Amino acid sequence: MLLMLISKILFMFMNLFIITNILLLSSLHPITILFNFIMFTLSSSMLIFLNSNNSLYSFMIMISLIGGMMIMFNYFISLINNENSKMKFFELIISINFFFISFIMIIYFMYWMPIFFFMENMILNKWSLKIQNIYFYPMNYLTIMMILFLLICLTLSFKMSTIKMIPLRKIKI
C-alpha cells in the first residue's frame, strides 16, 4: 500500500516536471514540443493505469492523445518554414538528462508494477471502473489533468502559429 502511494506520487512529480519543462522551454521547435508531450502522455497513462487497474482505458487514452498530437504537429511542421532549432547546448544536455531519467523511472515502474498490484489486490477489494467513475475521487484528478493537457496543447499551438519571428508558408491558389 505504501509502495503504491510512493509510485503514484513519483508519477505525479514526473508529470509536474514535464509540464514545467514544457512551459519554461525557450525553444518552440515542434519536434521538441512533440517529444515533451509524448513523455507527458506516457507518464499520464502510467498514472491512469495505477489508479484504475484497467489497462485498456489508459491504453486508449494514450493512443488517442499521441495520435492527435502527431497529426496536429505534422500539420504545423508542414506550415512552418524549415528552421534550425535554436536550443542552446546546456538546455539540450538538461533536456536529454531529464528524458533519460524519466525513461528509466518508467522502465523501473513497469518492471515492479505486477508486484505492487498483486500486493494491493490482496489487501484491497477490486475497484470496478465504470464510465461515470471518472468524475469521482480517484479518477477526477486524471480527468482534470487530461483537460489541462489539452488546454496546454491548444495554447502552445496558438503560440506557435502567431509568433512574429517564424513566417508561415504562403499557399499558392
pLDDT band at 156 (very low <50, low <70, confident <90, very high): confident
The owner of cell 477526477 is 140
* Residues 6+ away with beta carbon under 8 Å from 16: none
Structural element, H or E, at residue 2:
helix 2-23
What DSSP line would sit under 29-73, residue for residue? Answer: -HHHHHHHHHHHHHHHHHHHHHHH--HHHHHHHHHHHHHHHHHHH
Q: Please report, to the nearest 10 degrees, the dihedral formed by the alpha carbons of residues 13, 20, 76, 170 taken in order.
A: 180
> Which three cell numbers mark 127?
475497484
Does residue 104 surpass a pLDDT of 70? Answer: yes
pLDDT of residue 128: 46
Q: Who wins on pLDDT, 34 or 119? A: 34
Q: What is the pLDDT of residue 63?
A: 72
In this predicted structure, the answer to whether residue 60 has a pLDDT above a threshold of 60 is yes
Give Cβ neighbours of residue 91 (< 8 Å, ≥ 6 apart).
25, 26, 27
* Phi/psi at 41 (5° precision): -65, -40
pLDDT bin (cut points 50, 70, 90) of residue 119 is low
**Average pLDDT for the chain:** 65
**pLDDT above 70: residue 147:** yes
pLDDT at 125: 47
